[in-house]
Amino acid sequence: MIDRSVLSGAYFSQEHVARHQLDSFNNFVQYNLQKVVNEQRLVETEIVNRGKNQEPVWVELGEIRVEKPIVREADGSQSKLYPTEARLRNLTYAAPMVLTMTLHQGDKVFDPQETTIGQLPVMIGSKVCNLCGLTTEERTEQGEDPSDPGGYFIVNGTERVLMTLEDLASNKIMTEYTERYNEQIHVSKVFSQFRGYRALVVVEKNKKNLLDVSFPSVAGHLRFADLMRALGLETDEDVVSAVSRSEDVLTYMMQNLEESECANSEEGIMYVGKKLAPNQTKDYQRKRAEFVLDSYLLPHLNYLIPSHLKPGDEGYEVYAKDVRVAKAEFLGRMAEACFDLALNKRRIDDKDHYSNKRLKLAGDLMEDLFRISLNRLTRDVKYQLERASMRHRELAIGTVVRADVLTERLIHPLATGNWVGGRTGVSQLMDRVDHMSVISHLRRVISPLSRSQPHFEARDLHPTQWGRICPSETPEGPNCGLVKNFAQLVEISKGIEDEEEMMRIIRGMDIEPIRSE
């Protein structure tokens, strides 16, 4: 028989306090760093005039790894850096990132080179921290409190905590009512997210039962039926089948098909092209329409295209056609949600229900930051290669990578709290008033909603917060209900890394696919 006090003591230990932050950061270092590098993969340049054969030059990115935190002295020597020394000397507790880069010049491939691309701020207590694996006595020798929970960063000698951000779930259809010109409009929307890019796609049913679709880069609305044709659904039957076979819905769909001006896929593409690029040539309009539909409409479905294929590559168009049909089917589901809402077959979605929320932990925030920073570094590498080429210098990886470009981009947001995407207050100075303040700060959750607006429902205690969010620990005043804290027993799950494994599980549950495979 296990003593309850021993069990609760083991659970409510200092490891549990910031476990969610540490697990998230470890996951970022182990998997997501490489995932972001794989997304970038190639650094292409415009150098084509070297040599007689006009050989193109590009750089291929390979494996990335994070080493242990070190400090470089003025005399060039290096030594292990521990958190206490970083605090006392006003240093940033960071570790070098080493990336394998291969230079290609036409058919000639240079040897892969391991290059330090910058310094990654390291979370205290994570797997790449120098304190990891040390005993209580060894921690004390390094000037560290053995009961310190970790889960924070040290930037320029100050302790900074990354706030957990609460946001609406992405890639999930949500329905609601809205009003325009004293008309009630039924709306279904989805925040489509892919590789850090987030696009709001909205399907609306107006008073005349006609559907309009809006998404980024398109001014105004597009007619639903014509957009479905542009995505590859040729016949009326295909368009209706993508929405629903229900007789009630069929009546609405007939009204939409009657208003449609496009008879086939080609006319649908030109309809979108004219909206996007009026008064341009037909060829340009077609290319612009295909690019916008592929890039900005429901981008989360672009995962179906292999990451190594780019527009214009051989085989890309085959995948792109399948993805456009998948996007048409997803839009059909959004349209069905609109009609079901109008027919009282479903209720509006509760935005405050915790199943409709997702939390961005330290690892997710660092992933967003690293993606932007790596993009900046690759642009700098491209510029340095082109400049070296113009000056007729020998091209070499070691001379074109400037590590401070990436380092500055990673450290500045942590030091100021101004994150990518215009968010502020993401990184905060850790509250060291007492031990309870530290625990509270590490387990804080903030909402992106404006403090100056009432948002009564968002501030209310929702029944689904039971066991997840503390019902009493929230500040008074304008932040009330928008700044919250985790409950003591909360456990935070993370997304599935292996999508193929997930698909195997789903197929094993006798779920019928939308299309026959």
What is the three-state SS of 448-461?
CCCCCCCCHHHHCC
| DSSP assignment string, 435-499 | HHHHHHHHTEEE--S-TTS--HHHHSPPGGGTTTB-SS---SGGGBTTEEEB-TT-------S-H
Provide the 10 A C-beta neighbour count for residue 117: 25
Cβ atoms of 252 and 217 within 8 Å: the answer is: no
In single-letter form, the type of residue at position 351 comes to K
Query: Tens of pLDDT along 447-463?
Result: 988 888 888 889 999 99
Could you tell me which residues come within 8 angstroms of residue 506 by beta carbon, excluding any fewer than 6 positions away? none
Find the mean pLDDT for residues 205-214. Answer: 89
| DSSP assignment string, 326-357 | HHHHHHHHHHHHHHHHHTTSSPPP-TTSGGGE
Compute CA distances 94 → 76, 82, 118, 130, whole Å: 17, 10, 9, 11
Q: How confident is the model at residue 516 (pLDDT cuts 50, 70, 90)?
A: very low
pLDDT of residue 440: 92
Query: Tens of pLDDT along 143-170?
Result: 888 888 899 999 999 999 999 999 999 9
Residue 336's Cβ-count burial label (10 Å; 0-12, 13-18, 19+) is buried
Find the mean pLDDT for residues 18-34. Answer: 92
Q: What is the three-class DSSP state of 115?
A: strand
Q: Which fold has domain 174-353?
A: 3.90.1110
The residues spanned by each domain of the chain are: 4-159+361-415+430-443, 174-353, 449-517
Q: Is the pLDDT of residue 297 over 60?
A: yes
Among the listed residues 178, 125, 179, 122, the one whose alpha carbon sits nearest the alpha carbon of residue 150: 125
Query: Tens of pLDDT along 50-63?
Result: 554 557 888 889 99
Query: Tens of pLDDT along 307-359?
Result: 666 666 676 777 788 889 999 999 999 999 999 998 889 899 999 999 999 99
Cβ atoms of 276 and 268 within 8 Å: the answer is: no
What tokens were used for 142? 């390094």
pLDDT of residue 414: 94
Q: How confident is the model at residue 514 (pLDDT cuts 50, 70, 90)?
A: low
Residue 101 half-sphere exposure toward CB, CA atoms < 13 A: 23
pLDDT of residue 489: 84
- Interatomic CA distance for residues 164 and 20, integer angstroms: 10
Cβ atoms of 193 and 170 within 8 Å: the answer is: yes
Q: How confident is the model at residue 260 (pLDDT cuts 50, 70, 90)?
A: confident
Give bridge partners of residue 94 from the DSSP assignment. 121
H/E segment holding residue 291: helix 282-295
- Interatomic CA distance for residues 63 and 432, integer angstroms: 38
Query: Tens of pLDDT along 220-237?
Result: 899 999 999 999 888 888
- Interatomic CA distance for residues 147 and 138, integer angstroms: 13
CA angle 126, 128, 132 (to 5 degrees): 60
Find the mean pLDDT for residues 381-401. Answer: 86
Whole-prediction pTM value?
A: 0.89
- Interatomic CA distance for residues 189 and 455, integer angstroms: 20
pLDDT of residue 333: 92
pLDDT of residue 117: 92
Q: Is the pLDDT of residue 115 over 80?
A: yes
Mean predicted lDDT score pLDDT of the chain: 87
pLDDT of residue 2: 61
Provide the 10 A C-beta neighbour count for residue 464: 14
- Interatomic CA distance for residues 39 and 367, integer angstroms: 12
Give bridge partners of residue 203 from the DSSP assignment. 188, 213
What tokens were used for 269? 């593409």
H/E segment holding residue 178: strand 174-180
